[in-house]
């Protein structure tokens, strides 16, 4: 049995190591990764109700944060994205700032184009990832509660 406050970090070793360093240093080591900004996203598992945390590149769209559900161009969405579809209330850590946010998908239109450009300027490989899959890669707006 796990407690509600127990957080399960990414099963990927290098991501879990990134998260550990980020948390231990309040983002001093990890907020900037390979020259880009990263945040920690904690979601509630859609099936288990467990808390899951991962590190993701982020950008800003007005006062909100945006992230990309790319999964490197894989044909299915990342698990963190399917979790926020079921439970849009998330916890973010941006550097030392930890807060609750609401996640919404930016699905199309001018806002999607604007947000995609912001993110592709930060991490150009997002454009490559989109060519690897037939799904439209979702963009997620994270708005502080």
Q: Report pLDDT digits (tens) over 33-71.
A: 999 999 999 999 999 999 999 999 999 999 999 999 999
What fold characterizes domain 7-144? Pnp Oxidase; Chain A (2.30.110)
Q: What Å distances lie between residue 20 and 28, 46, 58, 95, 97, CA to CA?
A: 12, 24, 18, 13, 16
- Separation between Cα atoms, residue 58 and residue 141, nearest integer Å: 10
3-state secondary structure of 24: helix
Domain ranges of the chain: 7-144
Residue 139: closest CA among 65, 72, 87, 74: 65
Note if the pTM is more than 0.85: yes
Six-digit token string for 89: 């209330």
The whole-number average pLDDT for the span 81-101 is 97
What is the spatial distance between Cα 39 and Cα 57, in angstroms, rounded to a whole number? Answer: 6
């Amino acid at each position: 049995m796990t407690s509600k406050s127990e957080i399960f970090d990414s099963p990927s070793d290098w991501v879990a190591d990134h998260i550990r360093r980020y948390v231990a240093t309040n983002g001093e080591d990890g907020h900037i990764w390979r020259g880009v900004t990263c945040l920690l996203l904690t979601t509630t598992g859609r099936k288990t109700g467990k808390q899951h945390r991962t590190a993701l590149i982020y950008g800003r769209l007005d006062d909100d944060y945006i992230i990309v559900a790319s999964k490197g161009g894989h044909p299915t969405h990342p698990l963190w994205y399917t979790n926020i579809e079921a439970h849009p209330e998330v916890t973010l850590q941006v550097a030392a700032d930890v807060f609750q946010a609401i996640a919404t998908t930016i699905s199309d239109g001018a806002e999607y184009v604007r947000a995609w450009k912001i993110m592709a300027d930060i991490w150009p490989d997002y454009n490559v990832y989109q060519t690897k899959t037939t799904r439209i890669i979702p963009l997620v707006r994270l708005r502080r509660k």
